[in-house]
Structure 1
Amino acid sequence: MIASRFAVVCALLFGAAFVGAAPASAAGTDGACPEGGGVTVVVDFGDLGPQPLVRCAAGTPANGIAALQEAGIEVAGSQKYGLAVACRINGQPGPAVESCAGMPSATAYWSYWHATAGGSWTSSQEGAQTAKPASGGFEGWAFARPKSANDLPTPPRVPPVRQTSSPAPAPAASSDGGSFPWGLVIGALVIVLVGGAGIVVARRRRAQ
């Protein structure tokens, strides 16, 4: 009975060790999407402060709002129109600039753009909740502060271009057999051996 209980405890400890080592998942990835996959989302915060964001949404999102969300970028709509109007992106602009009660101000709002890879930004002719992103294309958002409602917004300052980079060097061969968690295995074996020794000692004492 003692041995069977000990075996169960050891099995649970061993399984928990591997569960704890599992990597966490997150929506979207940093940087432009690789050629042939995903939709790249560019967010230019303008004079709001944060640096521009460039992130990749895998696959082909259903619309412009979904592209933001699937790239791991927070978007909030207005209280009156919901996500039909993108009022805040990653918390910007703050309440001091825009209350998000209804339509944004004509002199402080998010403009929405499209582009092909290596092409030019084009202002969207429809809202982000109905616009369908092109597979392999770029979606752009730029915070606009025109001096008057008649002034046209400017596109994101980040060009819709995939950044080329040198291939990463191959990882050096590891003498410990790669990334297999030998430390966890050895630790579990030590627990089993120590526990087994304790059982043997206990049985000998009973026999005496």
Structure 2
Amino acid sequence: MIASRFAAVCALLFAASVTGAAPAAAQGTDGACAEGAGVTVVVDFGDLGPQPLVRCAPGTPANGIAALQAAGIDVAGSQKYGLAVACRINGKPGPDVESCAGMPSATAYWSYWHATAGGTWTSSQEGAQTAKPAPGGFEGWAFARPKSANDLPTPPRVAPVRQAATPAPAPAEEGSSFPWGLVIGAVVIVVVGGAGLVVARRRRAQ
């Protein structure tokens, strides 16, 4: 009975040393998406600071707001219109600039843009809660603070260009990597198994 329990423990330890931890679920990552990996979201905070943010929203987000959220970027709507109006992105602008009670001020608001990879930014003609991002495309947000309501907003200062892929490292030659995981697992089995045998023999001697 004791020997069988020790054998089960050894098997679990050995499996853990070989397989390792399970991979994490897909989530937003820094930088532009690789081709076919999702929608790239660019946020230009303008004079609010900090520097523009570029993140990848994996998959095919349902709309512009979902793309922000999938990229791991916080977005808050207005009290009156909810997320139909993006009032704050990553907490900006603060309440000293915009109260977020209703529609944003005509001289302090987030402008919303679209682009294809390698193309040019185009101002969205549709709200972010209904606009569907193009697969593999770019979603842009730029904080606009024009001098008057008649001034047109400017697009994000980050060009919608996909970053060049980093070459993958050459695969290791067969037999060149020492199997430390297997060795450690085998040592654990020997140590634990030996301890089990000692305990079993002592109990039999009694």
Give me the TM-score of the superposition, normalised by structure 2: 0.82
- Provide the residue aligned with 1:185 in structure 2: 182
User: Partner of 1:189: helix, strand, or coil?
Assistant: helix
Deviations 1:48-89 (A, max 9, x none): 112112222233321111121222222221222211111121
* Cα distance in 2 between the residues matched to 1:19 and 1:107: 56
Displacement after TM superposition at 1:12 (Å): 4.0
Does structure 1 retain, via aligned residues, the 8 Å contact 2:27–2:71?
Answer: yes
- Provide the residue aligned with 1:91 in structure 2: 91
C-alpha distance 20-98 of structure 1, shift in aligned 2 (>3 A): farther
Which deviates more, 63-72 or 11-20?
11-20
Does structure 2 retain, via aligned residues, the 8 Å contact 1:111–1:143?
Answer: yes
- Provide the residue aligned with 1:21 in structure 2: 21
How much is the aligned-residue C-alpha RMSD, in angstroms? 2.7
* Cα distance in 2 between the residues matched to 1:102 and 1:153: 20
Does structure 1 retain, via aligned residues, the 8 Å contact 2:116–2:136?
Answer: yes
* Cα distance in 1 between the residues matched to 2:140 and 2:186: 54
* Cα distance in 2 between the residues matched to 1:68 and 1:13: 41
Displacement after TM superposition at 1:201 (Å): 2.6
- Provide the residue aligned with 2:71 in structure 1: 71
Does structure 1 retain, via aligned residues, the 8 Å contact 2:14–2:188?
Answer: no
- Provide the residue aligned with 1:199 in structure 2: 196
Displacement after TM superposition at 1:190 (Å): 2.2
- Provide the residue aligned with 1:176 in structure 2: 177
User: Partner of 1:87: helix, strand, or coil?
Assistant: strand
C-alpha distance 110-188 of structure 1, shift in aligned 2 (>3 A): same
C-alpha distance 131-2 of structure 1, shift in aligned 2 (>3 A): same
Displacement after TM superposition at 1:193 (Å): 1.4
Deviations 1:68-119 (A, max 9, x none): 1222222221222211111121222233322323222222211001122232
User: Partner of 1:193: helix, strand, or coil?
Assistant: helix
* Cα distance in 2 between the residues matched to 1:166 and 1:10: 41
User: Partner of 2:185: helix, strand, or coil?
Assistant: helix
1:1-208 alignment runs, 5 A limit? 1-15=1-15, 21-36=21-36, 38-164=38-164, 167-170=167-170, 172-173=172-173, 175-176=176-177, 182-205=179-202, 206-207=204-205
Unmatched tracts of structure 2, length 5 or more: none
* Cα distance in 1 between the residues matched to 2:45 and 2:157: 10
User: Partner of 1:85: helix, strand, or coil?
Assistant: strand
**Percent identity between the two aligned chains:** 79
Deviations 1:144-187 (A, max 9, x none): 1112222221111112222335635525547225xxxx444333
C-alpha distance 167-197 of structure 1, shift in aligned 2 (>3 A): closer
Unmatched tracts of structure 1, length 5 or more: none
